[in-house]
Structure formats: C-alpha cells, structure tokens
Amino acid sequence: MQICRSISLLFLLLLAQYVPAQLSWTALNGPIGLKSQTPSVSANGIIFLNRNNVHQFDISFDNGDTWEAHDLTLNTFPFGFKVLQVPNDQTYVLLNDRVNRFRQNTKDWEHLPGFDESKQIWFDSQNRLWRTLADGQLAYSTNDGNDFTTVFSDVANSTKLAMYNDAHNLMVIEEAPNNLVYHFTTAGQKQLISFTANNFYIEWVKYNPYSGTAYMKTNDYMGYIKKSTDGGISWSAVSFPPNFPGEYLSDLLFTQTGETWAVNGVAVLISTNEGADWTPLPPLTPNDLYQSGTIAITANGQKVYYHVTGCGAQGFYRSLDHGAVWTDITSKFQYPDITDIVKTSDGALYAEACRKYNVEVSKNEGISWQTLTIPTASGPFIPVSICKSPGGTLFVPGNQVVYRSQNNGTSWDTLDFEIFPVSPYHKMSVGLDGSVYLFHNQQGAGYSMDNGESWTQMEVSNDFIHYLYFGDQFHPNGNFYRSGQYFIHKFIPSINFMDYVLLPGGSYIEAFAVTGTGRMLVLTTDITFFSQTLYYSDDEGQSFQEAGPLPEWSIPAKLISGPGMVLLRLNGNYYRSLDDGITWEIYFATSAFPSIINCLYFSPDNYLYAGLYSEVIHRTGEKVVAVQEPLSHQQIEKLYPNPVTDLLFMELSAAGIVQYSIYDALGRVSHHQIVQTGAQGSLVLDIQSLATGVHFIEIRNETGGLIGRNTFYKQ
C-alpha cells in the first residue's frame, strides 16, 4: 500500500513534534574553576571580583579566605563594567551608564541616580566624584550627585583625567593625529601642554593621591613613562632597568606609605622615591606562570593580590607580607568558565573548565562533580578537547599519545598512534559512527573508523589544517566536512580522498552545519551589499538552493544542528527550524541567562545544554524534540554498503514480514513495498533506479510498528 505524504522533509517531522517556543531552563551546578576577572581592593583590604559578563560581584572581607556574592539589580543586560576604587574605602561601579556604590555596612549596592547617563567617572583626593556625559559636559559633585559643578561643556567621551586639587588638574583628549594634553583648574582655566613627538598617543594617566605626582604612559621614545610633580605643567622621563622596558609597563600602583609599584606582566618593581630607583619584587608565585596578570594592593602595601589572566593559566594569589611569600587561593572560587560540555548516551555529563587542565564528570545531571584522573605520560597533562562517541567513549589528545576511556574516565588506555607526535594542542573530532579525526598543527591529519583501534594518514592540503574554519561536521553517510571562510573541505574516508565544495560566488561563509538528514546548510555574507543568504544542499554540495528569508541580519552568526532541529544564532536571539532550515521561529534569547552562552550541545537524549561564561551549566527543562512513537522489538542492526551503487543490504534483528519506504531528500516517496525477510532477518533491496544523493529509508513491521530509520547515499 502506498503511504502518502504531503509535507516535505517528512522524515524530520516523523521524528519530531513541535514544542512550545518558550524554553524553560534548569541551572546545573558547574565544576570548580576560577572565572577570568580583575581584582579591586579597597584601602582597608576588601576584595571585589566581578564575574565576567554578569552583574554579580564576589566580595571577600577576610583577605580572600571566604567569598560572598552580591548582585547589582539591573533592568538591562550588563555592558561596559568599570570599577573605581577610591581612598575613602568606597567602591563605585559604572555600568550601563549608571553609577552604583557598595555600602560596606549593609553589604549591598546603592544606586546614585544623579550620575545616570555618565560615560566616565573619577574620584579625586578631595572626595569629589567627577563625570562626563555624552554631550561633552565635565562636572563634579561633592554630595553623591545631588548637585554638580560644571567645569567644561565640550570634552570628548574618551577624555582621560588625573585629579589633584582646585589648582592642578590634568586632561587628555584623544584627537587625530595627536593626543592633546591640558592643564586646567576647576575655575575653568585651561592651558595646552606641548609634546614634540609625531602622532603622540597616551595610553593611560595615573595619579598618586598620596604624593600628588602624575604619571603618563605614552608612545614617545623620549620616555614611555613620564611623571610630573607640578600638576602636569612640566614632565620628565622615568627610567627603568634594561630588562624592564617602560614600553611594556602595564600598570602603576601607589601606597600611602610612599611606594610606587610598576607592574609588567608577572614582574614587579618597587620604588620608594617616586621612580628614581627601583627594586625588583620577589617572584610572584611558587610556579612558573607566564601570562600577564593584574596586581591589586591595599593602601599600606601589605595585602597584595595577584590574578593571572588567560584560559588555562588562571590563578589567584595572595600575599600578606608585602609580596615576600605568595599563597594560591584559586580553589576558593566555585564558578567555572566552561569551554566545552558533552553528554554521552550512558548519561554522564562532562565539562571542561577554563581554569584547570582537566575534565570533570557528573553522573547526576550536574548536581555534583568530580575531576577525572587522566594518566600522564611525561610532563604536565594539558587536554584541549574532550571528544565522545554515542557509546560514551572519551578521547583526549596529549603527551604525545591519544588517551581513550570507555568507562566514564575510570580507567584509560593509550591508543597506538604513530602517524605523527600527538601534542596537547591537537584537535579531535568524533563522528556518530565511531569515526575519529585527529589534526596536527603542522604535520597533517589522521583518522580512524574503528573507535581509535587503527589509524590512517589523511591526504590533506596545508590549508585544511591552518585556515580559518567554522567547525567540523559529519554527514550521515560517514563523510567528513570542515568549513573555511570561502569553501568547504569534504573528506571521503572510504577512498581516503579530499575534495572541495564550491559555494555560490561573491560571499564568504558565516556559519555552516550538516543536519541529521544529510542536508548541508551554509549561511553566507556579502558585505558589499550588506546581505546574508542561507543556502541548502541535499546532494553534498553539488548544487545549492536558497532557503527561506532569514529573520534578521547579523555578524557573526552560528548554525547548530541537533536531533530533528537546527538552531541559528543571530545577534542575541536563537531561532529554530524544524524543517531543515526552510522556515524559522524564535526559540530563546541570550537575555534568558545571567551570562553569555559559551557553548551549546544537543545530547543524544534530546536535551539542549548551554555552557555559560563564568557560570554554571544550564539544561532545558524538557526534551527539545520528542520522539512520537516507540520502536518495535525488531531493529535494524546493519545497513551496508554506504555509499551504495546498486544493491543495499540490511540485517534486521528478527525475520518476518516488513514494509519499507524510501524517501528522497525532499520527503517524496520513491519506493514502497511489503516483503518477507530472509531466515535470519536479512533484506536485499535493488536501488539502481534511485537518483544520486541522500535517501532516507523507513522500516515497519507487518502491523505498522516502527522498526527503524536510516539514511544512505546513492552513488
């Protein structure tokens, strides 16, 4: 009997049903890790650490031993943090053009409405708060913004200020080709200070409130660091030791005991005579940290806090004796910077946090976590990516070998891989059929089609390894794709052959995905005409057609394919398509989360997981696409060969009468027949008449119960 379908892409709709467009999310506890942040320290030693991209501060009142979270109440998503520490122990935050002050007695934030619309704020030694507005007004207040005194009405938003007293103030205005430096008084008198360098530029201005000395970092070779002791009227160069060049100075800090701290990455010099002589500080940390960090000190210079920036080398260190001895207090922070999340079919949830070189696993949906113990061959282990297969296998490259675990990381074996040395930074991709791809930054790539048991060198070009790419994708027939900016690499493992997919000309690729049905989706951008076009191909890139209109225009964008669904990220919205990219509807917005989404992952059991920057993992409260009908007791155990030319062989779990339907890529029925399988459940189908391309086969038993579905490629 003929089964009629009128809806295109039927096999998607058979798998999925529409769910409400308004998603609900559940927050899962994240693994331990330190978010990337910069410390601020009040004069009496209170430490403020802002969670990146969120409106929460972690605050410590006991030198970092314990931490409390204190939120800022906001009506909009936070953007543009600026934390201002002042000598009177107050802390001010400029956020979304609003100023909030932390009240230490009540441990909460107080909004100062008089400073609304402020673009910049400063605090001077006379306890006055200064601000600039979008219209160029520079003014100060002595009563928390209830009244203002305007000094200038035409300064640029990018003005840099160093405040001294009513007689001496410094203002830097960014103008091309040179920055302009003015000395001015609060009475409105302004005097231009001349510098002779061409294209003169000032990176920052610092003011020592305890001595009245001003400092500037410039691009002037006559002195990268300059100081002034007369309110900015005259300047002299500050000299540093030869191994501490001034052009690489990142910060200057001051104490009320007369010290000036010069910070250059992890190196620090201290001067007790305003930069005339310098003494190096002992090494900041007990280990060999190599990335630039941030130093914050108290007014007396005894409590010093050091933060190392950068994913993979983060840490937070404390010294209570003027920097002589340092203690690592990184473990005090319980929030991760999640770089990857996966969930294997056996139910284990894995997460990689930015701070530590490890992988953490949760077997109870993120309620609790434990760190995986991965063996070390030689030296420190540095995993870069965790890769999974449907059976729950974990792959991690590192230490010149490839590690594999098939029991949730309880034990690991070392794979025999001799194509090229496997360094910690290698990239791995794992397909749904057990295929594993490993890419070397210089020496090419290798692949395995048997879960890593044996490996073959890939014949690839250099641009396959080095070029800018937008992700790895697997076709249901086993072919592998890697998208670049202007073309897509296509690798056919059955013949170890690399090919290119040619795209419509005149544009570059913005996002790329391959759906579970084998459809290729490519979002291109033409910046000449400020337009974006979504193309789809059902024949692996031999031909492309335009999909429906996009809901909006955005650079950058991202495509994510899941079971029966495709997600498209444009600006702050995620749109979904249940018909392989033809029509779209808004699904959720990034504003639904307290932080920016770092990674999204569809789990095999149809949940959607979101890993957030500096936040916990979130999961949808319901399956995003529900399976409408259960499978019968029979199953499709094998389908081969794939790709196929003439005869398609199938092995079912039991013999009997079955009915099969074959659909093309547009959901049209091309074959339907009721047949008797062989004694062992074998089935042979003649598909020579099918057109070249992707096809979908559905097998049902005699009573119509679903046995299984699969895709194959007709050559």
From the number of C-beta atoms within 10 Å of its C-beta (0-12, 13-18, 19+), residue 177 rates as: exposed
Burial of 226 (0-12, 13-18, 19+ CB in 10 A): buried
Coil/strand/helix, residue 41? strand
Our measurement of the distance from residue 190's CA atom to the centroid of its chain's CA atoms, rounded to an integer in Å, reads 46
Per the structure block, which two tokens stand in for 498? 């690399």
pLDDT of residue 37: 66
Six-digit token string for 133: 């507005």
Rounded to a whole number of angstroms, the CA Rg of the chain reads 31
Measure the CA–CA gap between 697 and 708, rounded to whole angstroms.
8
Q: Domains in the chain and their CATH numbers?
A: 338-620 (2.130.10.10), 631-714 (2.60.40.1220)
Mean pLDDT per 10-residue section of the chain, whose length is 715 residues: 34 36 79 72 82 70 86 59 66 83 85 90 85 90 92 84 85 85 86 85 88 89 84 89 80 90 81 92 57 78 80 75 83 74 83 73 87 70 71 79 85 84 77 81 81 84 61 84 82 83 76 87 80 87 86 86 88 88 88 81 85 81 63 68 87 82 71 80 87 81 72 81
Q: Nearest-CA neighbor of 207 among 229, 183, 178, 233?
A: 229
Question: What's the rounded Cα separation, in Å, for the pair 242 and 43?
Answer: 32
For the whole model, what pTM was predicted?
A: 0.66
Distance CA 487, CA 509 (A): 7
Q: Which two tokens stand for residue 569?
A: 């990220």
Report the first-to-last Cα separation within the chain, whole angstroms. 28
Distant-in-sequence contacts of 354-357, Cβ < 8 A, 24+ apart: 354/33, 354/35, 354/36, 354/311, 354/312, 354/314, 355/33, 355/34, 355/35, 355/311, 355/312, 355/314, 355/315, 355/330, 356/32, 356/33, 357/312, 357/381, 357/382, 357/383
Q: Which residues in 128-186 belong to E strands, given as ranges?
A: 129-132, 138-141, 149-152, 160-163, 169-173, 180-184
| 3-state SS, residue 10 | helix
pLDDT confidence of residue 284: 63
Q: Could you say which DSSP state residue 283 is in?
A: P
Task: Note whether 584 and 552 are within 8 A (CB).
Answer: no
CB 326 within 8 A of CB 317: yes
Report how far residue 290's alpha carbon sits from residue 282's, in angstroms, rounded to the nearest whole number: 15
